[in-house]
Amino acid sequence: MTEFEMFRKQYPFDLLSEEEFEEVFGKAMVREFSKNEFIIHEDQEDDTIDIHFMVSGLAKNIMHRSNGRQLSVRFYYPGDLVGVMILLTSGEMRFSVQALEPIKTICFERESFLKVMSNNNHFSKVVMDGISHLMKSLYDEVKYKSSTTDEQDDRELYKKRADAYMEPPTFIHPEASIEKAARMLQQQKIEALIVSDDQQSMLGMIGYGEILKAYFENDHKNPVKAYMSEEAYEINEQEFIYDALSYLKHHPTEIIPVLHKDKVVGILRQSSFFTIKNSVYFDLTYKISNATTIDEIKPLSPIHNERFQKFVASLIKDHMFAYDIAELMTNYNDRIHKQVVQIAEDEMIREGHGAPPVNYCFLVMGSEGRKEQAFSTDQDNAIILADYDKSKHKAKIEKYFEIFTRKINDMLNECGFPYCTGGIMAKEPKWRQQMSDWQGSIDQWINKMDAEEIRDFTIFMDFRPITGDYSLAYDLKKYVTKRVQKSLNLHQLLMKDTLRFRVPVQPFGRISGIGKKRTLNLKKSAIMQIVNAIRIYSMKYGIEEINTVNRLEALAEQERFHPRDVENAKTALHRLMLFRLKANLQQLDDEEPLSNDLKLGPMKKEERRSLREALIIAKRLQQVLELSYNRNRVV
């Protein structure tokens, strides 16, 4: 027993009494396994399976599908228990556990271990919680962190949507028994089931963790609805696959449901991605997700990180659509924003301010809201607070969020997202309001908006939640959409503001530059003409989409735009954004200040033609908008 003394004070064994510790460790022994050796094999008889506590090394579990394909759905790390799941389900869940490197374990006598679990509820809960975190990682962390060559990237990952990787979902009725769910998981070699009463909509999910809990409580005859998990991370079938993979990498979930509108059309799981190699993107996002200080995040910012810049350049070289690259960059920036908010919240607690006193939702707006970011970007953000007017701590709540939002904006500025020169930031009272005040501001905006405020409103219209209570943002979005759809005066003001900047292309296709260096501001003079026009039409027809390409496709679906015009607008957007990205990368390479200016000096003939055609499409959209503006003004 002396060799095990060190474990008396080690979690979770410190939860055991002296007698229980003696019971568990009295018959334990140290076992060693070589690389590729099986700790447990799925063909073993139940009475030969032992419980192991991993002391060192790395292992994986292996399951064999009916088609003969071998797959692994999790890794085991030091501190993990091996074998408990199989024993608690009486062998209904079978798999092998194989060493990936030399391993040392403490092997427990199973009857003693299970006896202590039955008697010590606290200890058994810890064990059960540990088992339910089945999906610790998709990749071997050692390989993950040591990947340094960009050549190994599988860049197809950044061009494909969720529907390219999803597998058919397996449904189970909410009244079906836990026992049936366990059999289905074992027979079909899957990690979780979608609980549904119509084979389409999702009521919840049930996986190993929930089933193990039911078995341990001797409730395996009960219906799955009693144990299902009702909250799940979901992904739309047209979202990029890398977001789902990044989520799986950092969160212990069995599967991710894939939705078409509100219907489940597929699932994603770790085995869906076995062909995908390590990548720069995952390496960097892993570091962001684990950062605890702003000093750790700063070098990961797009404008500071050379690896990320080269990665974006490689996607351009691979002919990925520029608006898809912009979406990828925005999602990367979202991760930084979310982590900054978390760091600010942790700092508030450390400083004695405590946790947020009411629910909040942090919003991004403008190009980040639309998922159309380039390297040259500043902050456009806001925050919605749950109503607190009737609280007796109203002044304290307001002071809390005043300090909190100032921290967030200051930290973002440090991380390479400059302060908004127009003051459109959550630390400003105008952009930090409770829900009822936001609604009042919107009413006032729409009824009394002047030319100066219209620009702020166009930025606000593209808001998107990235952290906090999303329901606050969704409720506000519905309110805004309903109000602006009916306001002809607002549409006119938006059109007038958009028409202030003329697309600089002459009748015979000559591009007009500004200044001695003959530069073209790609954002103000071209990209925003397309973005603003599409936003105005989306508002008019009650479309809630935020991203410009998604708005275009929604307009086509409603037969408001001809499909050919939609494709032309998407092509123009791609080309203009591509010029902008390339210009930003060149500016970063030359260590010049970032801007949206494109130098119109010597250009390749093909590049000039591509730019001219994009500007002509933008100008046509502007002309259509101008005709509509003049017609409404006359009326």
Fold matches, 5-146 and 280-483: no
Q: Indicate the fold that domain 5-146 takes in CATH.
A: Jelly Rolls (2.60.120)
State the pLDDT at residue 280. Answer: 75
DSSP secondary structure code for residue 293 in this structure = S
Mean pLDDT over residues 29-41, rounded? 85
**For the segment 566-607, what is each residue's pLDDT rounded down to a tens digit?**
888 999 999 999 999 999 999 999 888 888 888 887 788 888
- Name the residue ranges covered by the structural domains of the chain: 5-146, 160-272, 280-483, 496-633
What percentage of the chain has pLDDT greater than the value 70?
Answer: 85
Buried-exposed string 173-204: b where 16+ CB fall within 10 A, e elsewhere: beebbbbbbbebbbeebbbbbbbbeeeeebbb
Q: Does the predicted TM-score (pTM) go above 0.75?
A: no
Q: What is the DSSP string of 6-20?
A: GGGGSTTGGGS-HHH
* Stretch among 263-277, 555-569, 603-617 having the lowest mean pLDDT: 263-277
Which range scores top for mean pLDDT: 37-46, 108-117, 335-344?
A: 335-344
Domain 160-272 has CATH 3.40.640.10: no
* Stretch among 83-87, 360-364, 405-409, 592-596 having the lowest mean pLDDT: 83-87
Backbone phi and psi for residue 280, each to the nearest 5 degrees, phi listed first: -60, -45
What residues contact 596, with CB distance under 8 A and at least 6 apart? 374, 376, 521, 522, 523, 524, 580, 583
State the pLDDT at residue 507. Answer: 62
Mean pLDDT of the chain: 82
**For the segment 183-195, what is each residue's pLDDT rounded down to a tens digit?**
898 887 788 899 9
- Amino acid at site 227: Y
Give the architecture-level CATH label for domain 280-483: 2-Layer Sandwich (3.30)
Using the structure block, give the residue that is written with the tokens 């993979």.
245
Using the structure block, give the residue that is written with the tokens 């959209």.
621
Distance (Å, whole) CA 462 – CA 480:
11
SS3 state at 566: helix
State the pLDDT at residue 154. Answer: 40
Helices of type H across 81-233 = 84-88, 110-119, 121-132, 141-146, 178-188, 208-216
* CB-CB contact of 358 with 404 (8 Å): no
**Cis check: omega of the bond before 168, within 30 degrees of 0:** no
Token digits of residue 14: 């410190």
Distance from the first to the final alpha carbon of the chain: 93
Token digits of residue 365: 């707006």
Q: Which residue has the higher pLDDT, 268 or 381?
A: 381
* Stretch among 256-270, 371-385, 542-556 having the lowest mean pLDDT: 256-270
* Stretch among 66-80, 114-128, 344-358 having the lowest mean pLDDT: 66-80
Domain 496-633 has CATH 1.20.120: yes
Q: Residue 151: pLDDT band by 50, 70, 90 thresholds?
A: very low
Helices of type H across 197-321 = 208-216, 241-250, 280-289, 294-297, 306-317
What residues contact 226, with CB distance under 8 A and at least 6 apart? 214, 219
* Stretch among 14-18, 105-109, 121-125 having the lowest mean pLDDT: 121-125
State the pLDDT at residue 147. Answer: 33
